[in-house]
Amino acid sequence: MHQTFDAALEINLLHANQEGADHNRAHFDEWGITCFNIMSSPGAGKTALLERTLAALTNEFKIAVIEGDMTTELDADRLRQYHVPVIAINTGRSCHLDSKMVSGGIHRFAHEYNPSEFDLVLVENVGNLVCPAEFEVGEHTKIALLSITEGEDKPLKYPVMFQAADCLLITKMDLAPHLDVDVNQIVANVRQMNPHVKIISVSAKTGEGLNVWFDWIRSQIQPNH
Amino acid sequence: MHETDMTKALILTVRDWWESQPKPPEISHIHLIVGQFTCVEPASLQFAFEVQTRNTFLEGATLLIRETPLIAFCHCCQQDYHPEIGVQYACPTCRSPMEDIRSGRELKIDRIEYAVSEKPEYNKVTV
Ligand SMILES: Nc1nc2c(ncn2[C@@H]2O[C@H](COP(=O)(O)OP(=O)(O)OP(=O)(O)O)[C@@H](O)[C@H]2O)c(=O)[nH]1
Ligand SMILES: [Mg+2]
Ligand SMILES: [Zn+2]
């Protein structure tokens, strides 16, 4: 004999990831660290931007990088040349970082370094315009990159990431003269769904706009430091 | 590909509940709510669920997904509207940007249907 029942659960599917993210953020707060989660499609220029950022700001701030990559350590090796701690996380078949992977990374970091000395942790997420947006890792700030070669319509087609971003960097501006892309249209499309996002146009190649980006970073660093 | 991870999260969450029951029930249906303004594709989730529950306590359970539409509230017009995903997110009446999402971001396990067999329990001492 069977009796059937119904149980109301009403549990968010991302509940466990969210708890992990809150745990990571609590660590960052305790250490006085500001954490950025940097997301974009593959090749939009995340690592190039980080190289420029490390080159410019390591005298001013103590910075560490968490580098998410599906299989290689290529990006991590590029960034180690700037003499900052780079924690590489191979995500394997997973196309995004989640809070548990990052938790492993920050505990490793805290074991090898004195985290209270640090001001900023930059997390380079796996290149992917879709999934990383749903998985918080403990960041204070979400940074989305869109290179101008990707086209004006991408924010409309992949809205979740652009809607959640605190700062949007429109990258590879040096290529604008070679393309039929309307940067104002990119801005308008993003503003439709995210009116308050900070938008900065940059080129890691020529350096255009980078000072605006650096000033914005300065404005985000936790003051208790 | 993240549907695999979502399914893993789903299975782990249901397992926690399942293990917390006095007698492990036989789960027949899981009702899931998936908003249209998420990165989750119901068909992929359905497929991942079938693959990943094979030979587990959820083998044979049915996943029922209810999609909720994207609905935003326009503060200017004081009314709800349905943004057109992929095309237009601003309010169609006054062009104000989408700010207040009322529906469409859900990703949750709503409820579970299960059966408990009423066979006598041999491990209990009957007087
Ligand atoms: N012209 C130009 N090329 C750039 C710029 N920034 C990056 N690139 C090039 O774009 C390519 C990808 O850059 P990466 O920095 O590796 O991009 P990524 O987002 O880190 O890529 P993944 O980590 O693989 O997702 C490289 O060939 C870079 O040299 C830029 O500002 N201008
Ligand atoms: Mg990279
Ligand atoms: Zn309106």
pLDDT at B124: 47
Residue B6 has pLDDT above 90, yes or no: no
pLDDT at B119: 60
Q: Is B74 contained in some domain?
A: no
Q: Is B89 contained in some domain?
A: no
Q: Is A198 in the pocket of ligand 1 (CB under 6 A)?
A: no
Nearest Cα of chain A lies from the Cα of B112 at a distance, in angstroms, of 5
Ranges of each domain in chain A: 2-220
Cα–ligand 2 centroid distance for A40 (angstroms): 9
ipTM of the prediction: 0.85
Q: Is B61 contained in some domain?
A: yes
Q: Which residues of chain A have pLDDT under 70?
A: 1-2, 224-225
Q: What is the pLDDT of residues A28-46, one digit of tens each?
A: 999 999 999 999 999 999 9
Q: Is B38 contained in some domain?
A: yes
Q: What is the pLDDT of residues B16-61, one digit of tens each?
A: 899 999 988 999 999 999 999 998 999 999 999 999 999 999 999 9
Burial (CB count within 10 angstroms: exposed 0-12, middle 13-18, buried 19+), residue B85: middle
pLDDT at B125: 47
Residues A176, A181, A183, A189, CA torsion sign: negative
Q: Is B124 contained in some domain?
A: no
Chain A residues with CB-CB distance to B111 below 8 A: 6-10
- The reply to whether residue B118 touches residue A1, judged by beta carbons under 8 angstroms, is yes
The range of the structural domain enclosing residue B18 comes to 3-69+103-115
Burial (CB count within 10 angstroms: exposed 0-12, middle 13-18, buried 19+), residue A91: middle
Chain A residues with CB-CB distance to B62 below 8 A: none
Chain B residues with CB-CB distance to A9 below 8 A: 13-14, 17, 109-112
Which CATH number characterizes residue B16's domain?
3.30.2320.50
Tally of domains within chain B = 1
**Angle in degrees, 0-180, between the axes of helices B2-20 and A15-31, rounded to the nearest 10:** 100
CATH architecture of the domain formed by A2-220: 3-Layer(aba) Sandwich (3.40)
Q: Is B90 contained in some domain?
A: no
Q: Can you tell me the mean pLDDT for B67-88?
A: 97
Q: Is A46 in the pocket of ligand 1 (CB under 6 A)?
A: yes
State in Å, rounded, how far the first CA of chain B is from the last one. 55
pLDDT at B4: 84
